[in-house]
């Protein structure tokens, strides 16, 4: 394995591919000069970051360096260049599972692909919990897939270490600082913010919500106002489920559509929800998958299985046995790789030649496209 130097000259930045941390940072595709490998570089303008944001980024960098597991996203290097904080990570060619849902699997991923992904996430959680950490932000956007199908759990900026002064806390009472955009995935006990606090089992609840997200194409409570979502979770109403022929009948979407024609906003569903409801009766998930989700989203934390117990659940064991590589199950999506990058560069060059052929020099001697 190559060492990743703490200097910008060690990387050739190629192109920006997106944003991160609610738009605060930018993500760039780059090439590590020494190894030639493609990497992802996250850049943050320190001058534009608040003290709270910088503290969170420092926590994320430290956690990624301290916690070492094959299924956790590592930080290859981090350093400050001018006014920018750079964090270098391995390139995950498929992006996040949320990207997969948006691009090619709008009605949910295949069950076997979900099992392979969740098995690796559960392995990461099992390790995190053994180290005294609670992730607190398990969701599709924090699950990344490498070009070879390897799965990584990211999002450690929201994690919390339960060790204080050498002792492990039995209960945690700190509400996550970055919870605003992740309320739908948080467990009832975290949202309650009461004296009982919460434990690592809250991650298992979030895992169940994420399983529904990957299977349904959208997380539970997505189309619900925050106040209504909070009420349902705390009151134990509206248990999250997988949407298929066993939970949604063929006429359900039409009945909801009729309700949409009323003036009551409480029953309104948008086009995305209706589309997913219409697709549900045409598929059927395994009984083991349904049970897996029910166990994870149990409102009582003590009844939820631990990650170690989930690894022996029939859903993961049966679906992952003799399964084809994850990359085969994700077709037709194609990961960003050396080959696709070269193909993309050739397309850019071809377009440039075409554009240059159509250039004309105007009277002011400036290029006119």
Residue 238 has pLDDT above 90, yes or no: no
Is the same domain home to 102 and 47?
no
Rounded-to-integer distance, Cα 189 and Cα 299, Å: 8
Decide: residue 320, CB within 10 A, 0-12 exposed, 13-18 middle, 19+ buried. middle
Nearest to 266 by CA among 236, 218, 225: 225
Q: What is the DSSP string of 27-84?
A: EEEEEETTT--EEEEEEEEGGGS-HHHHHHHHHHHHHHHH---TTBPP--EEEEETTE
Residue 162: predicted pLDDT:
93
Among 19-28, 137-146, 293-302, name the one with the lowest average pLDDT: 19-28
CA distance 115 to 109: 10
Report which secondary-structure segment, H or E, holds 280: none
**Quick one: tokens of 299?**
């409102």
| Amino acid 338: pLDDT | 61
364 falls within a domain: no
Residue 356 lies in a domain: no
Higher pLDDT, 361 or 219: 219
Distance CA 126, CA 26 (A): 30
Check pLDDT > 60 for residue 259.
Answer: no
Supply the CATH number for residue 30's domain.
3.30.200.20
Predicted confidence (pLDDT) per residue in 80-112, tens digit: 999 999 999 999 999 999 999 998 999 999 999
**Domain span at residue 151?**
95-242+285-329
| Chain segment 145-167, per-residue pLDDT in tens | 999 999 999 999 999 999 988 89
Q: Tell me whether residue 260 is in a domain.
A: no
Q: Is residue 162, in this structure, part of any structural domain at all? A: yes
Cβ atoms within 10 A of the Cβ of 162, count? 18
Do the domain assignments include residue 343?
Answer: no
Provide the pLDDT for residue 279: 83
Are 41 and 164 contained in the same domain? no
Same domain, 57 and 79: yes
Q: What is the pTM of this model?
A: 0.87
Q: Kindly indicate the confidence band of residue 174, based on its pLDDT and cuts at 50, 70 and 90.
A: very high
Q: Note the pLDDT tens digit of each residue in 197-218.
A: 999 999 999 999 999 999 999 9
| Same domain for 191 and 164 | yes
Residues 220, 154, single domain; the answer is yes
CATH code assigned at 194: 1.10.510.10
285 within 8 A of 247, measured Cβ to Cβ: no
Does residue 350 have a pLDDT over 70?
Answer: no
Q: Are residues 71 and 102 in the same domain?
A: no
Q: Does the pLDDT of residue 267 top 50, yes or no? A: no
Share of the chain above pLDDT 70, in %: 85
What residues contact 137, with CB distance under 8 A and at least 6 apart? 155, 157, 158, 159, 176, 178, 182, 185, 206
- pLDDT at residue 342 above 80? no
Band the pLDDT of 127: cuts 50, 70, 90.
very high
Would you say residue 195 lies in a domain?
yes
Give a yes or no: residue 319 inside a domain: yes
Q: What is the mean pLDDT of residues 58-74?
A: 94
27 and 75 assigned to the same domain: yes
Number of folded domains in the chain? 2
Task: Mark whether 69 and 190 lie in a shared domain.
Answer: no
Estimate to the nearest angstrom the gap between the alpha carbon of 224 and the chain centroid.
20
């Amino acid at each position: 394995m190559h060492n990743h130097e703490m200097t910008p000259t060690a990387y050739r930045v190629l192109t920006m591919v997106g944003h991160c941390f609610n738009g605060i940072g930018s993500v760039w595709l780059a090439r590590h000069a020494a190894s030639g490998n493609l990497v992802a570089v996250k850049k943050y303008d320190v001058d534009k970051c608040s003290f709270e944001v910088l503290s969170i980024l420092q926590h994320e960098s430290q956690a990624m360096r301290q916690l070492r597991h094959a299924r956790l996203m590592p930080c290859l290097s981090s350093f400050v260049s001018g006014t920018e904080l750079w964090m270098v990570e391995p390139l995950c060619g498929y992006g996040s599972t949320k990207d997969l849902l948006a691009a090619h699997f709008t009605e949910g991923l295949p069950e076997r692909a979900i099992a392979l992904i969740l098995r690796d996430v559960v392995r990461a959680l099992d390790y995190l919990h053994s180290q005294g950490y609670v992730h607190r932000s398990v969701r599709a956007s924090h699950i990344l897939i490498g070009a070879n199908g390897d799965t990584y759990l990211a999002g450690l900026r929201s994690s919390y270490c339960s060790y204080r002064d050498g002792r492990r806390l039995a209960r945690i009472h700190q509400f996550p600082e970055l919870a605003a955009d992740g309320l739908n995935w948080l467990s009832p006990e975290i949202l309650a913010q009461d004296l009982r606090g919460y434990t690592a089992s809250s991650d298992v609840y979030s895992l169940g919500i994420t399983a529904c997200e990957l299977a349904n194409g959208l997380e539970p409570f997505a189309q619900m106002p925050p106040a209504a979502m909070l009420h349902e979770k705390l009151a134990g109403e509206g248990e999250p489920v997988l949407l298929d022929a066993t939970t949604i009948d063929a006429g359900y979407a039409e009945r909801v559509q009729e309700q949409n024609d009323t003036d009551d906003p409480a029953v309104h569903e948008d086009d995305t929800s209706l589309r997913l409801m219409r697709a549900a009766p045409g598929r059927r998930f395994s009984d083991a998958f349904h049970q897996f989700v029910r166990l994870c989203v149990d409102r009582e934390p003590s009844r939820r299985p631990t990650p170690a117990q989930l690894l022996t659940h029939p859903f993961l064991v049966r679906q992952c046995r003799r399964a084809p590589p994850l990359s085969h199950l994700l077709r037709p999506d194609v990961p960003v790789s050396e080959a696709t990058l070269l193909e993309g560069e050739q397309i850019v060059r071809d377009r440039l030649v075409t554009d240059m052929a159509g250039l004309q020099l105007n009277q002011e001697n400036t290029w006119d496209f």
